[in-house]
Structure 1
Amino acid sequence: MMRQFNVLLTASLSLFLLVACKKSNIGAEIPEVVTPVPVPPTDTVKDPVVVGRIIPVGLGSGNLTIDGSTLGTKANDQIIIKGGTYSSINIKNIRLADGSRAFIKNDGLVEVSGNGSQMRLSNLNNVTISGDGTKNISKGFSFKNMSNRAVQMDGNIDNFTFQNAYFENISDYVIAYNSTRAYNGSADSYAKALKFSQLECSNTASLIYFPATVNSGGITGLVKGLEISYIIFNNAPIVSSVVNLGAAEDYDIHHNVIKNINTQNNNHNGIFQLNGNGKFHNNLVRDHQGNAVRSWLFSVGSATKEVQIYNNIVFNSRKYSGFEVQGFSNLVVPGVTSFANAKVFNNTCGSLNMSQDWVGVVVDVYDLLGGKCEVFNNLGFNFPTPSNNNMIWSQQSAIPAVASNNLYFANSAAAGITDEVKFELSGSSSAKKAAVTTKMVLTEDYYGNKRGATYSIGAVE
């Protein structure tokens, strides 16, 4: 159910949402909140053991087309784009057999900048585009100052990775894919194994927009095995949703940092709008408006799938609860899809719905159309507008959640949280070593610290 409110922020909350260093009314500086950023594992990007051809392309300007049909692309080829500012880059027709891969990298900083400029991708399989080709340039592909989509994906794209890129001042979707494949169960009827990692956005519209349709005729635009990781997304006042997935199975969204967004947005939105099923874990969302996740659950086919939301930190929302789980009749279609279950556990959530115009708790639980929702081992604090039933979850349907072993406190200090930057627990915290482990077993916390056999409630040890 969509909800829209128009409420002005108080002066104190406006100060709380600032990210730049500013002067207070007595002249003292208010320091920027330095948010810890997850570090990708060193093996996120693997160059081939057997290096193929090195193929230099581009002149450093103009329009560049990389056509696999013309190049005769082979396994382990490395296509190296010369640094410079391009009007367009068109990459197409590179389809390699499973077990092999082609790599497209930068030589120096490769920029695509200005209105009308764009990178277009089509007909790709087993291709990695990675901006780590030059030492000391961590984001070797840069997209800036566009009113159009920065990256447009078309046709059949599978087993594809896009990483190490920077986006700034993009007012249309950053990466969009309108897949027209009609799902029939075969491997060719859906997009598979798409990975987006180590991307950074400042003042852009939605990062990922993958629409789909689900109806009695089937699913069009299904994506399976999508991974979104190590994204930094900030300073976007009206973005609404950072990621929007129309139909996804077994997504894995993790280790992303979202901060200082939707300062001017008031619609009821999900920062991650995820339709389908999968895992959302080890993410930080802070200083924002909107649910960190709106999970609209369903399973593809009749086998019941699950949504897992865990090890996340959600802090200082102007509007709404940390998460939402909900089923819709237009997404749960007999003979095409079925219900899914949800587990929401070991999250740390604080200072939610500070505008106080709706319920603000860890999770809003709606009707899952046959599915069940379990809520456990969550740590919450400072919810000025909790739900009627309890401080952790809000019952928005006739069927209640199965909730157990959650803790709520008036503020972070009472919860034993040492600060509101890293959210670590003190040794005397009531949440310390208090988790139940009979439902799920976690081996690591938000920061990758080992949990141990007896571990803590919340996202951080």
Structure 2
Amino acid sequence: MKKYLFLILVLSLSAFSCKKWIDATAVPPGTPPGAPPDVTTQEIFSQVYNVGTGKGNLTIDGNSATYVENSLIVITAGTYGTINIKNINPQTKITIKNGDGIVEMDGGNYAGGTKNLGAGLNYSNCSNLVISGNGSKDEFGFYIHDNLYRPTSISGTNKNVTLQYFSYKNIGDYPIALNAGGTVWNGTDASIKNMGLKFLRNKFDNCDGTTQLGGQVTTTGVTDLSKNIEFGYNQWTNCNAGHLVFAGAADAMSIHDNTFTNINPTNNNDNGFFLVIGNTNFYRNYAKNYQGHMIRLWSLSFGATPANCLIYNNIALGSRKYSPFEWQSTMGLNVAAAPNTTYVNIKLINNTAGDLNYEHDAGFGACLVDNYVMPAGSTQEVYNNMLFNTYTPSGIQHRIFQFSDATIQAKAVANKNIYYGDDAAAGFNKTILILTNSSAAKNKGLAGHLIDLLDYNKLPFNVLAPSIGAVQ
């Protein structure tokens, strides 16, 4: 019989065996154009559990209390120190939401004004769990702020866990840190501790640390490999951390529909919003007023089959320096491929980038992609991209590749990539992010289904007369 820890967890059972929960959240501000809106949905739960008193520290432990399948755990609104969730492993799903109001975790002015470096929400050893801040009318029902250390730690073994509608503000170190304990990947999914983790519709404001997903690739092996990690519909604003998210060994990652505004205003390191060692798809992301690459893909496939990495429908406007995309292999970083790994194939399609390197930095000019050494067999295809007003010290503003190995560049397939002097010449509206009716870029793209049209994630362009760039 499992015991209830009343001193830690305040728990009360709903008087009803079934309850309807209305989710009426709206699309977060800054969601990229074309992103599907949140729709009002009605969820029916088998049981509702109310936990927390609105203050203190709270632990929700599946080893100390029993939560039935498809149940809802509601955290009472208020200001907490730390909320720890662990050992929740239903066969189907359990959901945790904030109650009627915001669940706040305050690291700067908690318990009489003392600093609380542990303030935040952490989870460990969970699966089939949704932790969602859409339990009230507030935009972000979980609010973690003024923590100089690390407000969200993920540890143990976690599968299919979603963290969404969280607001992180004024964070001094890693907003989110994943720790898999140095687990060696043996070539099977059984040795992967973190799979199917989703980070959706969250906001990161003035966070000066990098979200760390862990992982390492060496000449002898891979440790702490993660798989099917998803970042979607998130907002990063006023962050100066250089890299915003680092994944040291990531298989089949998905990064999409995120917005980046006022990133790295004073940081001049060579960086990227996402630095991924492994393979990922990167699509429908939007950046404005920033410094760095949108993504640095240091590419590798885990297993014998090369992964296809798709980078498409992204918009990048106004970089102080650097190109929006970078790719190379781990071999180019003097790390030969680990055992049971191989190369990737890359498609860079239907992206729009303009006003790049507007400070005219002489050290690193800006083009579409910085393309470095790739191993034999790897293919790179670059189609239907539009650039305008980019600067390189050599004066070749319309260059597609930069600093790449000459042999690799010669093998890359590039077609229908167009450069214009400015947004007016391109017929591109930088406010609403669409091509004007008179745009010279209209119908200039390469015909053909370069990406499977049946896949809902892929490009919706007209096969016979596609438009150039991410704007359709």
- Which range, TM-score by smaller chain? 0.7 to 0.9
Q: Give 2:346's match in structure 1, choosing from 331, 342, 346.
A: 342
1:392-438 alpha-carbon deviations (Å, 9 max, x no partner): 22242131132111000111111111x22223112222211221133
Partner Cα separation in structure 1 for residue 154 and residue 188 of structure 2: 21
Q: Quote the Cα distance in structure 1 between the aligned partners of 2:70 and 2:258.
A: 29
Q: Give the CA deviation at 1:64.
A: 0.3
CA distance in 2, matches of 1:425, 1:48: 39
What is the CA distance between 1:227 and its match in structure 2? 1.0
Distance 2:189 2:309 in 1: 23
- Quote the Cα distance in structure 2 between the aligned partners of 1:447 and 1:95: 29
Aligned to 1:393: 401
- 2:63 is paired with a residue whose SS is helix
Q: What's the counterpart of residue 391 of structure 2?
A: 384
Report the secondary structure of 1:94's partner residue.
coil
SS at match of 2:64: helix
Against the structure 1 CA distance between its residues 45 and 319, is the aligned structure 2 distance closer, same or farther, given a 3 Å change threshold?
farther
Quick check: 1:225–1:251 contact (8 Å CA) kept in 2? Answer: yes
Q: Distance in 2 between matches of 1:170 and 1:416?
A: 40
Instruction: Provide, for residues 365-417 of structure 1, a one-character-per-residue CA deviation record: whole Å limited to 9, x for no partner.
Output: 11112222211100000012176695222242131132111000111111111
Aligned residue runs from structure 1 range 75-114, under 5 A: 75-97=69-91, 100-107=92-99, 108-114=101-107
| % identical equivalent positions | 36
In structure 1, what is the Cα distance between the partners aligned to 2:351 and 2:122? 38
1:155 aligns with 2:156: yes
Q: Of residues 50, 62, 65 in structure 2, which corresponds to 1:71? A: 65
Matched residue SS, 1:315: strand
Deviation at 1:230, TM superposition (A): 0.5
The offset of 1:285, in angstroms, is 1.0
Flag the 1:349–1:212 CA change in 2: closer, same or farther, 3 A: same
Whether contact under 8 Å (1:359, 1:385) holds in the other structure is yes
Q: Is the 8 A contact 2:330 2:337 kept in 1?
A: no
Alignment-derived partner of residue 210 in structure 1: 213
How many residues matched?
A: 421
For 2:52 and 2:35, locate their aligned partners in 1 and report how far apart those are by CA, in whole Å: 30
- Whether 2:467 is the aligned partner of 1:456: answer yes
Q: Which amino acid aligns with 1:407?
A: I
Matching of residue 197 in structure 1 with residue 203 in structure 2:
no
Partners of 2:81 and 2:389 lie apart in 1 by: 49
Q: Would the aligned equivalents of 1:123 and 1:156 in 2 still touch at CA under 8 Å? A: yes
Structure 1 residue 452, shift from structure 2 partner: 2.9
Q: Which shifted more, 107-116 or 39-48?
A: 39-48
Kindly indicate whether the alpha-carbon contact (under 8 Å) linking 2:326 and 2:369 is maintained by their aligned counterparts in 1.
Answer: yes
Q: Is the 8 A contact 1:310 1:347 kept in 2?
A: yes
- The yes-or-no answer on 1:269 pairing with 2:271 is yes
Aligned to 1:18: none
Residue 206 of structure 1: how far off its partner (Å) = 4.0
- Once the two structures are TM-superposed, the CA of residue 229 in structure 1 deviates from its matched residue by 0.5
Partner of 1:374: 381
- Alpha-carbon RMSD: 2.4
> Which piece of structure 1 moves more, 367-376 or 120-129?
367-376
For residues 161-218 of structure 1, what are the alpha-carbon distances to aligned partners after superposition, in whole Å with 9 as ceiling and x for unaligned? 0001111100111111021332123333112111110101110134631121112442
TM-score, scaled to structure 2: 0.84
Letter of the 1:74 counterpart: V
Change in CA separation of 1:456 and 1:150 when aligned onto 2, cut-off 3 Å: same
For residue 61 of structure 1, what is the aligned residue in structure 2?
55
Alignment-mate amino acid for residue 365 of structure 2? V
Alignment of 1:305-316 (within 5 A): 305-316=307-318
Q: Secondary structure at the match of 2:150?
A: coil
Q: Which runs of 5+ in 2 are unaligned?
A: 1-28, 108-115
Moved more, 178-187 or 141-150: 178-187
User: 1:326 Cα deviation (Å)?
Assistant: 0.7
